[in-house]
Structure 1
Amino acid sequence: MKQNFDLTEKHIIVCGYGRVGKQASVDLLNHYEKFVILERDERVIDQIKENQQFQYLNGDATEDEVLEKANIRSARALLATFPSDADNLFVIVTARALNPDLKIISRVSEEVNIDKLLEAGANEVIMPDKVGGSHMAQLVTRPDLIEFLDTLLLQSTEDVNLDEIQCLSVPDGKETTIASLELRQKAGVNVVGIKKAGGDFIHNPAPSIEVTNQDILLVLGTPAQIQTMRDLIKACND
């Protein structure tokens, strides 16, 4: 089994290096994520090797042995990107059995198979054709807004990014306000949203909104500002 892989925990497993898997890998790399690509076609492995920053395993992601080799039991997420819904189904079932806590995001080609993949253990399913069609329509109906969002979410830029981080600087069992965190003053970022522990979103939160260490902050800032914020929160948690 050909490989270039040394990740042991909290990494992401990308199953397949077709159009979707390739784009996912590029985006993960741009966000400095740790990930490994699983690909069974040796000819495609040669393409993966062209990017020396990619880690990979040459093997069938539907097989237990290959997923074990990718340290699936200590991974934090898996992307099933095959064009075949049947292949993605096998990957989901196998991966879920090996790691019950794994976050699994799957591609789906046929809308009738969405429920099957969710029932098999996927946390989320994405239909690329549907997403692409909606995006094209919105480029006509709301072109400036979509261009702005694409700049934030899809393009690597040194100007400004959207990112998320868990509010770990708040002590266990306590609450504090957005204003008290002083993220704007200390790091220069703006909090544009909050995902509460229960799953609800708060958009454009007021400074008086209270947060706990189970909440996720959605912030807007430059890469340097976002890194400063992460360093501040990490320092408070050490």
Structure 2
Amino acid sequence: MTFKRNFFSVLYLPLTVLFIILTVGTVGYILLEKANFLDSLYMTVITLTTVGFREVIELDTKGKIFTIFLILMGVGLIGYTISSFSAFFVEGGLTEFMKGRKMEKAIKKLKNHIIICGFGENGSKIAELLKKSKRNVVVVDSKYINEMDNYYHIVGDATDDNILEAAGIREASVLVAALPSDADNIFVSITAKALNKKIKVIAKAKEESSVKKMKLVGIDEVVYLFDISARRIANLIISPHFVNMVDIFSEGDVYLEIAEIDISKNSHIIGKSISEINLKRRTGLLIVAIKKPDGKVYFNPDSDYIFEKHDVLLVMGTREQIEKSDEIFN
């Protein structure tokens, strides 16, 4: 649930009880003693709170019996209501509520952020790596975990439309479905696509049979965990130094990433060579490969390669270097 819903779910019952007691008492005095609304409400309040103020209604026998009933039934319920409010404030409920309201307002201001549904072993690691890459991340999980305080977060069921809305689904660029159940990952992915047609969805699959189903429903990228594990083990045998180097890049103090940069048709670098734009000196970025519109890829392109419109560059560097390169390319 969101923080707002949590606040009202905690206090809904005691508030309802208080309203019912006040209503019964007020209506009772109006019907039995023919008193006006304000006097009846006042009489109900002083009876329930046992403050001992002067009665404003002269009670007959029926009124006295009703008052006895109201005291016996109401005082205990009022005590329950007061204790519920006290527990909420003493246990930090109000502080948590205000903190949650602040969090929701901050999330509403985000644009092109990444939503991670599920903060288990996979989701928490994904969030950690994305934070190193200085991406805005909103994590969603049904249970509150202390580590979630390191990120924008929503506590609630990720398959609920309202929870995704609270996480800023309409302004997000990517959603990662990392819930424990493949069925839930499929459901949350479909919901995300319905709420934001442009969002890219990446889903985790535990079962091989789920991979095909996920692709059929339109999930952009499916990550089958056992396949990834098998590939890593094989690569540790085939190219151990390369794997270790990648780990250093992704987990070291300086986080390096490989990013795609699309060359727009109006880019001023079209018709220029790699050596002419001198990307390495100006930004520190390394051009790993260039992908052509027809799918052909040129790895480690020569310095005399001439850029063409709709080229896609694969570059490696820090997030700051990648952001700095945008003014050069487009």
| Matching residue within 192, 197, 201 for 2:288 | 192
Structure 1's consecutive aligned runs of 4 or more residues displaced over 6 angstroms after TM superposition are none
Counterpart of 1:47 in structure 2: which amino acid? N
Contact 1:178/1:207 (<8 A) preserved: yes
| Matching residue within 178, 182, 187 for 2:278 | 182
Q: What's the offset of the Cα at 1:146?
A: 1.7
Q: Residues of 1 paired with 2:241 and 2:321: CA distance? A: 30
Counterpart of 1:24 in structure 2: which amino acid? I
Counterpart of 1:69 in structure 2: which amino acid? A
Q: Residues of 2 paired with 1:235 and 1:144: CA distance? A: 33
> Unpaired runs of 5+ in structure 1?
none
Q: What's the offset of the Cα at 1:102?
A: 0.7
Across the aligned residues of Structure 1 and Structure 2, the Cα RMSD in angstroms comes to 2.5
Contact 1:162/1:218 (<8 A) preserved: no
Q: Summarize deviations over 1:22-52 as a string: whole Å, max 9, x none.
A: 11110111100011001112xxx13334xx4
Counterparts of residues 158-177 of structure 1 (less than 5 Å): 158=254, 161-166=256-261, 171-172=266-267, 174-177=270-273
Counterpart of 1:27 in structure 2: which amino acid? L
Residue in structure 1 matched with residue 153 of structure 2 by the alignment: 56
Counterparts of residues 37-116 of structure 1 (less than 5 Å): 37-41=139-143, 45-49=144-148, 52-116=149-213
Q: What's the offset of the Cα at 1:54?
A: 0.7
Contact 1:192/1:218 (<8 A) preserved: yes
2:145 is paired with a residue whose SS is helix
1:210 is paired with a residue whose SS is coil
Higher relative contact order (CA 8 A, sep 6+): 1
Relative distance call for 1:104 and 1:185 in structure 2 (3 A) is same
Question: Is 1:209 aligned to 2:268, yes or no?
Answer: no
2:127 is paired with a residue whose SS is helix
Q: Summarize deviations over 1:161-218 as a string: whole Å, max 9, x none.
A: 3432525587349443222221123233321112345554321112232334643322
1:57 is paired with a residue whose SS is strand
Higher helix share: 2
Q: What's the offset of the Cα at 1:228?
A: 4.6
1:191 is paired with a residue whose SS is strand
Residue in structure 1 matched with residue 69 of structure 2 by the alignment: none
- With 59-68 and 204-213 compared, the bigger mean Cα shift is at 204-213
Number of equivalenced pairs: 227
Counterpart of 2:278 in structure 1: which amino acid? E
Q: Summarize deviations over 1:117-155 as a string: whole Å, max 9, x none.
A: 111121010012221122122212321222122222x31
Q: Residues of 1 paired with 2:281 and 2:265: CA distance? A: 17
Contact 1:166/1:214 (<8 A) preserved: no
Q: Residues of 1 paired with 2:137 and 2:120: CA distance? A: 16
Contact 2:267/2:329 (<8 A) preserved: no
TM-score (norm 2): 0.62
Q: Residues of 2 paired with 1:136 and 1:232: CA distance? A: 35
TM-score (norm 1): 0.83
| Matching residue within 215, 224, 227 for 2:320 | 227
Q: Residues of 1 paired with 2:328 and 2:276: CA distance? A: 16
Counterpart of 2:277 in structure 1: which amino acid? L
> Unpaired runs of 5+ in structure 2?
4-99
Counterparts of residues 137-156 of structure 1 (less than 5 Å): 137-152=234-249, 154-156=250-252
Identity of aligned residues (%): 28
Contact 1:183/1:229 (<8 A) preserved: no
2:287 is paired with a residue whose SS is strand
Question: Is 1:134 aligned to 2:231, yes or no?
Answer: yes
Counterpart of 2:147 in structure 1: which amino acid? I
Contact 2:118/2:180 (<8 A) preserved: no
